[in-house]
């Protein structure tokens, strides 16, 4: 999904960490949103010019204008 300054992707149940949650980059912040509990948790700040987000297993990849960010959901840390 892409809507102005908001982009998102869904975690697939059974595909590693965060299955069933929506991962959102909005106004430079990465959130995990749980539709069942309606909790929205901040995972990472200071993301600049995000263009695309996707999830594979426990890694969230955020493609920005000048960099590619990989965020590990199992360690809750930015890689690299």
- Sheet harboring 77-78: ordered strands across? 50-56, 59-64, 68-72, 77-78
CA distance linking residue 2 with residue 13, whole number of Å = 22
Higher pLDDT, 47 or 20: 47
Contacts for 73-79 with beta carbons within 8 Å, 24 or more apart? 73/16, 73/17, 73/18, 73/43, 74/16, 74/17, 76/43, 78/44
- For residue 72, the tally of other CB atoms under 10 A from its CB is 14
Confidence band for 1, pLDDT divided at 50, 70 and 90: very low
Confidence band for 15, pLDDT divided at 50, 70 and 90: confident
Predicted structure pTM score: 0.89
Predicted confidence at residue 4, as pLDDT, reads 52
For residue 69, the enclosing domain spans: 2-78
Mean pLDDT of the region 20-49: 95
Q: What is the CATH number of the domain that holds 46?
A: 2.40.10
Predicted confidence at residue 67, as pLDDT, reads 97
């Amino acid at each position: 999904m892409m809507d102005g300054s908001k982009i998102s992707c869904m975690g697939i149940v059974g595909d590693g960490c965060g299955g069933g949650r929506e991962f959102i980059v909005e106004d430079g912040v990465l959130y995990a949103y749980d539709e069942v509990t309606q909790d929205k948790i901040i995972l990472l700040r200071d993301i600049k010019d995000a263009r695309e987000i996707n999830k594979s297993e426990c890694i969230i990849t955020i493609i920005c204008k000048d960099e590619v960010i990989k965020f590990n959901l199992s360690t809750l840390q930015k890689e690299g």
